[in-house]
Structure 1
Amino acid sequence: MNSPAAPSVTAQVTRAGRAIEDESFAIIDAEAGPHPYDPGQWAVVRRMIHASADFDLNGLTAFHPRAVAAGLAALRRGGRLLVADVGMILAGLSPARLARFGLRPYQFIADPDVIAQAQAQGTTRAVQAMRKAQAMGLLDGAIIGIGNAPTALLEVLRLIAEEGVRPALIIGMPVGFVSAAESKAMLAEVTEVPWVLVQGRKGGATLVVAAIHALLALAAGPDEPVA
């Protein structure tokens, strides 16, 4: 008897898990109703709804016109960097999925030098973490995921405008009440760097992780299920 095919690294690894996930996506598709997204964008939004049970993301999620294509191109080239604002994003990502595309993750929010610089300069750790990533040459061509710290996103926007930094894609979804909505509104005005964002106060590391996993599944291509 032939052994069953090994599951994709972008899907659930057990038959029961895949069945539950498939049923969840079917429910989301049925309950979401009409939406403004193309198939690639909807794969991202649907995964975010799956992670949060928040149907408001159908409408609140916005995409730069080149966002999905740019993210997939970066992943398929392999060896890309992923720079996150907080460790929660890296903790939520599947090591197997990252390894599939050689995606190398970084975050610096708790580094002693980052904390010391933030204290000395009267800024946030998130600002200094992004400055450290830039000083290390990690931001150009990287996928940047921001789910918690609006000041991290504001610093990336400054680096784009003032220092010519060019990430491959920004997944800008900081959650909160101070500068969260405003930082994402500013990101929405950026034309030279592709982005995905959640408008308003909603966001969080969970949504960033879901968006990245959706892009990894899309990048795997037709031979691996988009799940």
Structure 2
Amino acid sequence: MSTVNTVTEQLTRAGQAIEHDSFAIIDAEAGAHGYTPAQWPIVRRMIHANADFDFNGLTWFHPDAVDAGIRAMMAGATPIVADVEMICSGLSQPRLAHFGMATHQFISDPDVIEAAQRADTTRAVQAMRKAHRRGLLDNAIVGIGNAPTALIELVRLIREEGVRPALVVGMPVGFVSAAESKDLMAQVDDVPWIVIRGRKGGSTLVVAALHALLALAEARQKAGA
């Protein structure tokens, strides 16, 4: 049986060769690292997305993160809630469809904008609250790559309102509260997370991490077939 993930990897031999050669170069240049065999494919794909080896070290994992993400994907129809549309647009629709998954984001909804103006908060805060009101956060995969306030609000919802996502991929980029928001998430014990420590991050990195998890989920699915 082929080990190539037909849904979650390049679909042509030429594309597969380029991608696999890129990963081989990353493996060689990264050298020794402290990640587990399950964690490294995620970090490697993040490096591949940005050609930035700093993510080898800046990326932190809750002990249950990879397994929780894979199990959530394999469960089928698990929602992905994002802070911005860029994450939803960046995720491959065939890859999501393979596991019956759909994406959700509310950052530009009129009621979210109105609530943010009324409460003098950010749209990202109100978007997370709307996702919670709609029952989308529990058992979901939450991807945050742009708005630190979304991650801060999600931590509050976890601590104060008992929200329980299956996995949080918290990678907001920026200079105001970005590092602090990820430090807060890394202090959560009872919800699995993947974070990038410090200022670096971005929606591209969230997409890369989720695509890596989709590939791992398909590989586990094939192994159990």
Instruction: Give TM-score scaled by structure 1 length.
Output: 0.95
2:129 is paired with a residue of what secondary structure? helix
After TM superposition, give the deviation of residue 104 of structure 1 in Å. 1.3
Determine whether 1:51 maps to 2:49: yes
Shift of 1:7: 6.8
Structure 1 residue 14, shift from structure 2 partner:
1.3
Find the counterpart in structure 2 of residue 11 from structure 1. Answer: 9
Residue matched to 2:179? 181
Counting only pairs closer than 5 Å after superposition, residues 1-227 of structure 1 correspond to structure 2 as 8-221=6-219
CA-to-partner distance for each residue in 1:140-176, whole Å, 9 max, x for gaps?
Answer: 0000000000000000000001100000000000000
Please report how far the alpha carbon of residue 223 of structure 1 lies from its aligned counterpart in structure 2 after TM superposition.
7.3
User: Could you tell me how far apart the structure 2 residues matched to 1:36 and 1:199 are?
Assistant: 15
- Maintained 8 Å contact 1:81/1:138: yes
Distance 1:80 1:191 in 2: 22
Q: TM-score, normalised by structure 2?
A: 0.96
Show structure 2 runs of 5+ residues with no match: none
Residue identity matched to 1:192: D
> Aligned partners of 1:72, 1:167: CA distance in 2, in Å?
13
Quote the offset at 1:103 in angstroms: 1.2
Q: Which moved more, 1:6-15 or 1:50-59?
A: 6-15
CA shift in 2, pair 1:95/1:53, >3 Å: same
Give the secondary structure class of the aligned counterpart of 2:39.
helix
CA–CA separation in structure 2 for the residues paired with 1:104 and 1:43: 23
> What CA distance in whole angstroms lies between the structure 1 residues aligned with 2:66 and 2:176?
28
Tell me which stretches of 4 or more aligned residues in structure 1 moved more than 3 Å. 222-225
Number of matched pairs: 221
Query: Using the alignment, how far apart are the partners of 1:185 and 1:61 within structure 2?
Result: 12
Q: Secondary structure at the match of 1:39?
A: coil
Deviations for 1:182-221, whole angstroms, at most 9, x for unmatched residues? 0101111100000000000000000000000000000002
